[in-house]
Structure 1
């Protein structure tokens, strides 16, 4: 999925998979959320909104169920606390 940088409110990146109808947003704290069954018209309106953060909150976040996903590669399986406590 191609992600587009976005600096509006807490939004930092937005992307859309038209074949799967999935919208992904990345927030300023690094949280990535995916929303299923989002129509292409909503994606278009989000991209072209003069206030994307407000549009996202009102038309997507409050309407669709978001699922947290990771934009980071899978870890090596090592617990990061091992270095502190071993």
Structure 2
């Protein structure tokens, strides 16, 4: 999965595996999470959000996507 840097006080980079529909999120504290069955539109919205952290909370975490901490 390729990651792109984002401007955020909590998130350092995000990536997306289109075939597997997996969203990767790398945090400034060094942790990394993968969220599963995420539509590509959610990834695009996350990259374009004025507040990446707020978008992540509202449209990924609070939306109930299954996730796994990978680092």
User: Does the alignment reach a TM-score above 0.5?
Assistant: yes
Aligned residue pair count:
70
Higher RCO by CA contacts (8 Å cutoff, separation 6 or greater): 2
| 1:53, distance to aligned residue in structure 2 (A) | 1.1
Task: Mark the runs of 5 or more structure 2 residues left unpaired by the alignment.
Answer: none
Q: Kindly report the root-mean-square deviation, in angstroms, between the aligned alpha carbons of the 2 structures.
A: 1.0
Bigger-Rg structure (1/2): 1
| 1:65, distance to aligned residue in structure 2 (A) | 2.5
Runs of 4+ in structure 1 off by over 2 angstroms are: none
Cα distance in 1, alignment partners of residues 67 and 10 from structure 2: 15
Task: Mark the runs of 5 or more structure 1 residues left unpaired by the alignment.
Answer: 71-86
